[in-house]
Chain A
Amino acid sequence: MAAEGQTSGTTPGERHAIGICFGNSNSSIAYTSVEDKAEVIANEDGDRQIPSILSYVDGEEYNGQQAKQQLIRNSKNTVAHFRDFLGQDFKSIDPTHCHASAHPQEFESTIAFKIQDKEGDEESTVTVSEITTRNLKRLAQSASDFTGKQVNSAVITVPTNFSEKQKEALTKSANGAGLEVLQLIHEPVAALLAYDARPESKVSDKTVVVADLGGTRSDVAVIASRGGMYTILATAHDYEYAGSSLDKVLMDHFAKEFIKWNATDPRENARSLAKLKLESEATKKALSIGTNANFSVESLAEGIDFTSTINRMRYETIARKVFEGFNRLIEGVVKKAGLDVLDIDEVILSGGTSHTPKIASNMVSIFPESTTILAPSTTPTAISPSELQARGAALQANLIQEYEKEDIEQSTHPAVTTVKHLSNAIGVLAITGDESKGVFTPIISAETAVPARRTIHINTPKEGGDVLIKIVEGGSHIKVTKPEPKSKTNGEKQDDDSEDEDDSDEEPEDIREKVWKVGNVLAEAAVKGVKKGGKVEIMVNVAGDLAVTVTCREIGGKGGVRGNLAAP
Chain B
Amino acid sequence: MAAHTQVALPLPILPEGWSGEKDFKAIGKLTAATQRSIEPVGPHFLAHARRARHKRTFSEDDRIQAQENVKKVEDDDAGEISEPEDPMMLSRDAKDWKSQDHYAVLGLSKYRFKATEEQIKRAHRKKVLRHHPDKKAAAGSTEDDSFFKCIQKATEILLDPVKRRQYDSVDEHADVEPPTKKQLKDGKYYKLWSAVFKAEGRFSRVQPVPKFGDENSNKEDVETFYNFFYNFDSWRSFEYQDEDVPDDNENRDQKRHMERKNNNARKKKKNEDTARLRKLVDDAMSGDDRLKRFRQEANASKNKKKLEKEAAEKKAIEDAKAAKEAEEKAKKDAEEKAKAEKEQGKKAKEAAKAAVKKNRRVLKGSVKDANYFAGSGNAPAKVVDGVLTDVELIQGKLDPDETAALAQKLNGLKVADEIKGVWKGEVERLVAAGKVKSGEVKTLV
Binding site for B on A (CB under 8 A): 90-96, 98-99, 103-106, 160-161, 183, 185-186, 189-190, 193, 196-197, 202-204, 223, 227-236, 238-240, 321, 324-325, 328, 332, 392, 395-396, 399-400, 410-424, 426, 428-432, 436, 438-439, 441, 443, 447, 449-451, 454-462, 465-470, 473, 519-528, 536-537, 542, 546, 548, 550, 561-568
Contacts and interface: CB of A to CB of B under 8 A. Distances in A.
B10 A430 contact: yes
A454 B33 contact: no
Contacts of B4: 455-457, 537
B118 A424 contact: no
B11 A562 contact: no
Given A399-B42, A563-B24, A460 B10 contact: yes
Contacts of A193: 41-42
B208 interface: no
Contacts of A423: 31-34
Given A430-B12, A520-B28, 7 more contacts: A239-B121, A414-B67, A430-B10, A449-B48, A461-B10, A467-B13, A521-B27
A417 B37 contact: yes
Interface string B34-74: 11111111111110111111000110001101110010011
A465 to B, nearest CB: 6
Contacts of A227: 1, 44
Contact of A468 (B18, B43, B129): B18
B138 interface: yes
Given A230-B42, A234-B73, A332-B118, A459 B9 contact: yes
Contacts of A392: 41
A416 B35 contact: no
B73 A160 contact: yes
Contact of B2 (A203, A550, A561): A203
Contact of A95 (B34, B62, B132): B132
Given A236-B118, A240-B124, A399-B46, A415 B35 contact: no
A372 B68 CA distance: 36
Contact of A522 (B29, B42, B73): B29
Interface of B: 1-15, 18, 20, 22-46, 48-53, 57-58, 62-63, 65-67, 70, 73-74, 77, 117-118, 121, 124-125, 128-130, 132, 134-135, 137-139, 155, 159-161
Contact of A235 (B73, B130, B134): B73
A431 B73 contact: no
A98 B134 contact: yes
In the complex, which of the residues A419, A548, A562 has the most CB atoms of chain B within 10 Å of its own CB atom? A419
A468 B12 CA distance: 6
Contacts of B65: 415
13 contacts: A229-B42, A328-B117, A332-B118, A411-B49, A412-B49, A413-B62, A417-B40, A431-B10, A431-B11, A436-B12, A438-B12, A523-B26, A523-B27
Contact of A185 (B25, B41, B63): B41
Contacts of B139: 90, 106
B203 to A, nearest CB: 21
Contact of B14 (A411, A451, A528): A528
Contacts of B22: 561, 563
Contacts of A566: 26, 29
B153 to A, nearest CB: 14
B36 A461 contact: no
B23 A521 contact: no
Contacts of B36: 231, 233, 418-419, 421, 447, 449
A431 B9 contact: yes
Contacts of A233: 36, 73
Contact of B138 (A105, A328, A431): A105
A150 B12 CA distance: 64
A95 B135 contact: yes
Contacts of A519: 31
A522 B31 CA distance: 10
Given A193-B42, A416-B49, A430-B7, A546 B18 contact: no
Nearest to B31: A423
Nearest to B59: A415
Contact of A399 (B28, B43, B130): B43
Contacts of B132: 94-96
A568 B32 contact: yes
